Structure 1
Amino acid sequence: MAVGERFLTPGDWYFGRGDLQLRTVLGSCVSFVFWHPGDRLGGMTHSLLPSRLGGAKTTRRDGHYIDDALYLSLRAMARHGSDPRGYRIHLYGGGSMFPGVPSTPAASIGQRNVEAARALLAAYGLRCDKTHVEGIGHRKLILDLRTGAVSLQQATLSANSSSPDYP
């Protein structure tokens, strides 16, 4: 049986089941990956920032913000009648994209994203089963919605290059 693919760009999120592989590439952005082995449901997010600037209120939520992406994923679980506590939850990304640059708020966005994601999971009473976060460079991430298998490749950046070097 052929397997479809869906590539998540920054701000995208997907939740569901079927013959589909979800793929993304992360730098300082973070992804939640969800898999429920009993319900055979899963999902992935690709978020750029912890929350809207200054906590701006809006009726439209999207995956650009970690808090919105988690909220939308939890709503999708509820629509499927699936208990969030039954999911294997992984957190990926939050890499430093500027090796050799002194730490500034802009340079540490990856770390801030990881801290926000962890705090949100704790606030919702959810356990993170696996993390691969921070460090230097990009990550290629794949979730197979048929099996829940996650594939990860990390590429490093050298101080004089912005191009990732995958193994």
Structure 2
Amino acid sequence: MDIFLMPGDYFVGDDQYRVRTLLGSCVSITLWHPGLRIGAMSHFLLPGHGRRKADRPQEKPGMYAADAMQLLLDGLARHGVPPAQCQGKIFGGGAMFPRSARVRDIGTQNGDYARGMLQRHGIHVVSESLFGEGHRQLIFTIRSGEVLSRQVPPEPGWRNAGARTQA
């Protein structure tokens, strides 16, 4: 069965599932237990913790990295999966607009935050595909633990998309 994650979504399930998503500056973390063939995947937009408020009921629970990670850990616990026995993979954090040398863009912040979270939870990162330009397409096959990642470069001329010309 195929599951498609939108921004702020997450999924935890067994080997009958394949999970897909598209990432720009967002980041996905996949966690996979090879013996149990249970996997989890997030699609978060922002680093840190969300401050869910009643005036923003439309926010999905996995919008922020730390919240998404907790949802993955809780889901794995319901399946009896110790997170430290999982293989972690990290994807995304692409530049969707020209990067500035002076400012750490949101994609870079997301990727760095994801690395730190996995380290703090004692989860070994076996691979990552972070940063660069453009967006990524991901397919996570829980049966095998394989994550296919294809980075799609931005359209030609994107670096000048915000440039102004003087008449």
TM category, shorter: 0.7 to 0.9
**Structure 1: stretches of 5+ with no match in the other structure:** 163-167
Give the partner amino acid of 1:118: R
Partner in structure 2 of residue 121 of structure 1: 118
Q: Secondary structure at the match of 1:136?
A: coil
**TM-score, with length taken from structure 1:** 0.83
Q: Where has structure 1 moved over 6 Å in runs of 4 or more?
A: none
The alignment status of 1:134 with 2:131, answered yes or no, reads: yes
Q: Quote the Cα distance in structure 2 between the aligned partners of 1:109 and 1:121.
A: 18
SS of structure 1 residue aligned to 2:124: coil
Distance 2:36 2:133 in 1: 35
Normalising by structure 2, report the TM-score. 0.83
1:161 deviates by 3.6
User: 1:52–1:37: structure 2 CA closer, same or farther, 3 Å change rule?
Assistant: closer
Distance 1:154 1:61, change over 3 A: closer
Q: Structure 2 unaligned runs (5+)?
A: 54-58, 160-167
Q: Which residue of 2 aligns with 1:111?
A: 108
Q: Distance in 2 between matches of 1:65 and 1:19?
A: 27
Q: Distance in 1 between matches of 2:68 and 2:4?
A: 16
What is the identity, as a one-letter code, of the residue corresponding to 1:90?
A: K
1:40 to partner: Cα distance: 0.7
* 2:96 matched residue in structure 1: 97
The alignment-based identity, stated in percent, is 38
Alignment root-mean-square deviation, CA: 2.3
Larger of the two Rg values belongs to structure = 2
Distance in 1 separating the partners of 2:136 and 2:14: 23
